[in-house]
Amino acid sequence: MILTIGFLFTDGEVLAQNRGIFMPYSSVGVGLGTANYYGDLAPYGTPLASTFKMMRWSAGGNYTRHFTPRLAARAGFTYARIAGDDYIMNRSSKRESNVYYARNLHFRNDLKEFSLQGIFKLTPDNRSYDRRPQLGVYLFAGIALTAHNPKALDSLKGDWVKLQPLGTEGQGNEGYEKPYSLVQFAIPFGVGVRYKINSKFDVSAELGFRYTFTDYLDDAHGNYADPALFADDPLAAAMANRSTNPVAVRKGADRSEAIKKFLQVNYLIDSNDPLATLPTTGFASAGNPRGNSPTMKDAYMVGTISVHYILPAQIKCPPLK
pLDDT (tens digit per residue) in 201-240: 999 999 999 999 999 999 999 999 999 999 999 999 999 9
* pLDDT score recorded for residue 318: 53
Query: What 3-state class would DSSP assign to 147?
Result: strand
pLDDT at 270 over 90: no
Structural domain boundaries enclosing 198: 28-311
Residue 284 lies in a domain: yes
Confidence of residue 19 (pLDDT cuts 50, 70, 90): low
Mean per-residue pLDDT over the chain, rounded: 89
CA proximity to 180, closest of 159, 225, 150: 150
pLDDT (tens digit per residue) in 146-185: 999 999 999 888 899 999 999 999 999 999 999 999 999 9
Residue 18 lies in a domain: no
Q: Are 30 and 61 in contact (CB under 8 A)?
A: yes
Residue 7 lies in a domain: no
CATH number at residue 198: 2.40.160.20
pLDDT (tens digit per residue) in 109-156: 999 999 999 999 999 999 888 889 999 999 999 999 999 999 999 988
Considering only residues 77 and 18, tell me which one the structure prediction assigns the higher pLDDT: 77
Residue 14 lies in a domain: no
Percent of the chain at pLDDT exceeding 70? 91
Considering only residues 281 and 269, tell me which one the structure prediction assigns the higher pLDDT: 269
Residue 103 lies in a domain: yes
pLDDT (tens digit per residue) in 75-85: 999 999 999 99
Q: How far apart are the first and last CA of the chain?
A: 7
Residue 96 lies in a domain: yes
Count of domains forming the chain: 1
Backbone angles phi, psi at 253, to 5 degrees: -90, 140
pLDDT (tens digit per residue) in 59-95: 999 999 999 999 999 999 999 999 999 999 998 878 8
Residue 23 lies in a domain: no
Using left for φ > 0, alpha for ψ between -120 and 50, and beta otherwise, residue 306 falls in beta
Residue 8 lies in a domain: no
